[in-house]
């Protein structure tokens, strides 16, 4: 079965009956960080190596606190226009903005050259196997030269000043389009005139990101979860690990070499679908963890979920029990992503 997706502004889909492109508006906050000390500011807040990003390259990173907890996940792009383009979750917008503004003021008081601008842009996600083909008809730039996690500013369906990023929270090829608010409805309407494109809702996006093994902030990661516990160690830049110069480094870095008490794992089962808050038990019936996200997988025809269990139960293939509707059913720890990703690379 072909996984299909099309999103305008934070949506996703991978459903059997739909065409290969889906469109939906995204619930994200967009910020511009500028000034010669912009990288210093961002690296004082996140775990990633922002300094190593090439022009117009982006990376998924994490805001962390001094206890090592994840405050939010975000994408940081080093634009060729001389600023950092930051996309974070709208649900965390107030605390994220306060975090960045406080750091801007702190650095400015030290005489540093840095500033912040909140962008009045909408964000539309177009996702799926034919997403690039659909968009190519409306842009002059060659999208074949735009690989995963890179971006470029271009005119889209006559709307100038759009930043098109080859990414999306679905596991599929696709783009997210940052468009000036005044042009958002025009752009979305133009996309939907193509018969390949269908609107996608949050439920569809949720099944897609879960099949791809991607975390939802507030469910699968939060302020009480470290990147290592959340199986997100890959977001920690090598240079940053060595320097231990990001918030919570004294907690997080030792976890890379030592043991953590729990880890995020994938789970698969048949029968009733696992849902958030479902208890996870060992084979003796003792509760050892909790499901954080779960749903039926349209692609696999099985139920998939993720949750946290003690390290000794985190090996793929481990048999466990999950309590669903007060009944226990078998589940197996599974590697993620559950469905192979289809990100576009130049290889």
Question: Is residue 176 a known part of a binding site?
Answer: yes
The pLDDT, as a whole number, for residue 13 is: 33
Distances (CA, A) of 280 to 77, 112, 283, 289, 292: 38, 49, 10, 5, 10
What the block records as the tokens of 64 is: 């962390």
pLDDT of residue 202: 84
Q: Are 177 and 146 in contact (CB under 8 A)?
A: no
Cβ partners under 8 Å of residue 205, min gap 6: 7, 10, 11, 12, 13, 24, 169, 170
**What's the 3-state SS for 133-175?**
HHHHCCCCCCHHHCCCCEEEEEEECCEEEEEEECCCCCCCCEE
3-state secondary structure 219-263: CCECCCCCCCCCCCHHHCCHHHHHHCCCCCHHHHHHHHHCCCCEE
- Top-level CATH class of 261-335? mainly beta
pLDDT in tens, 28-45: 899 999 999 999 999 999
- The predicted pLDDT at position 25 comes to 59
State how far the Cα of 20 lies from the Cα of 197, in Å rounded to an integer.
7
Residue 201: per-residue pLDDT: 85
Confidence of residue 19 (pLDDT cuts 50, 70, 90): very low
Question: Which position has the higher pLDDT, 128 or 2?
Answer: 128
Stretch (H or E) spanning 208: helix 202-211
Average pLDDT over residues 2-24: 43
Section 156-166 average pLDDT: 98
Residue 9 clears pLDDT 60, i.e. is over it: no
Across 106-132, average pLDDT: 96
Residue by residue, DSSP assigns 48-69 as S--TTPPTTEEEEEEEE-TTS-
CATH 3.30.70.1400 fits 5-210, yes or no: yes
Q: Which of 14-28, 106-120, 213-227, 280-294 has the lowest mean pLDDT?
A: 14-28
Does the structure show a pLDDT above 80 at 55? Answer: yes
Which residues have CB under 8 Å from 249's CB, separation 6+?
A: 240, 241
Longest dimension (CA), the chain: 62
pLDDT at 248 over 80: yes
Domain boundary assignment for the chain: 5-210, 261-335
In the predicted structure, residue 265 carries a pLDDT above the cut 70: yes
Task: State residue 346's pLDDT score.
Answer: 85
Structure confidence at residue 128 (pLDDT): 94
Residues ≥6 apart with Cβ < 8 Å to 319: 283, 330, 331, 332, 333
| 5 has a pLDDT exceeding 80 | no
| Residue 8 binned pLDDT confidence (cut-offs 50, 70, 90) | very low
Lookup result for tokens 């302020």: 223
Cα three-residue angle 200-219-215, rounded to 5 degrees: 65
């Amino acid at each position: 079965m072909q996984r299909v997706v099309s999103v305008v502004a934070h949506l996703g889909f991978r459903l059997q009956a739909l065409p290969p492109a889906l469109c939906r508006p995204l619930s994200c906050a967009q910020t511009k960080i500028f000034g010669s000390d912009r990288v210093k500011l961002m690296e004082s807040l996140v775990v990633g190596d922002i300094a190593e990003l090439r022009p117009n390259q982006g990376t998924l990173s994490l805001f962390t606190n001094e206890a090592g907890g994840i405050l939010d996940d975000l994408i940081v792009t080093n634009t060729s226009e001389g600023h950092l383009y930051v996309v974070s979750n709208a649900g965390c917008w107030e605390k994220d903005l306060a975090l960045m503004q406080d750091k801007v003021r702190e650095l400015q008081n030290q005489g540093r050259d840095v500033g912040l601008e909140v962008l009045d842009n909408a964000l539309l996600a177009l996702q799926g196997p034919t997403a690039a083909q659909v968009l190519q008809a409306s842009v002059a730039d060659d999208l074949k030269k735009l690989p995963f996690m890179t971006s470029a500013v271009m005119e889209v369906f006559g709307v100038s000043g759009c930043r098109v990023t080859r990414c999306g929270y679905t596991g599929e090829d696709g783009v997210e389009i940052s468009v000036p608010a005044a042009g958002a409805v025009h752009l979305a309407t133009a996309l939907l005139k193509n018969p390949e494109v269908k609107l996608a809702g949050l439920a569809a996006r949720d099944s897609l990101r879960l099949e791809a093994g991607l975390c939802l902030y507030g469910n699968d990661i939060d302020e009480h979860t470290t990147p290592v516990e959340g199986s997100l160690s890959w977001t920690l830049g090598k240079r940053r690990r060595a320097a231990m110069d990001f918030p919570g480094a004294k907690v997080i870095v030792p976890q890379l070499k030592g043991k953590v008490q729990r880890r995020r794992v994938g789970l698969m089962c048949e029968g009733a679908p696992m849902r958030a808050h479902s208890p996870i038990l060992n084979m003796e019936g003792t509760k050892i963890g909790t499901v954080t996200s779960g749903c039926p997988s349209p692609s696999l025809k099985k139920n998939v979920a993720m949750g946290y269990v003690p390290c000794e139960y985190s090996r793929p293939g481990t048999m466990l029990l999950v309590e669903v509707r007060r009944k226990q059913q078998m589940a197996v720890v599974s590697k993620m992503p559950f469905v192979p990703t289809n990100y576009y690379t130049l290889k």
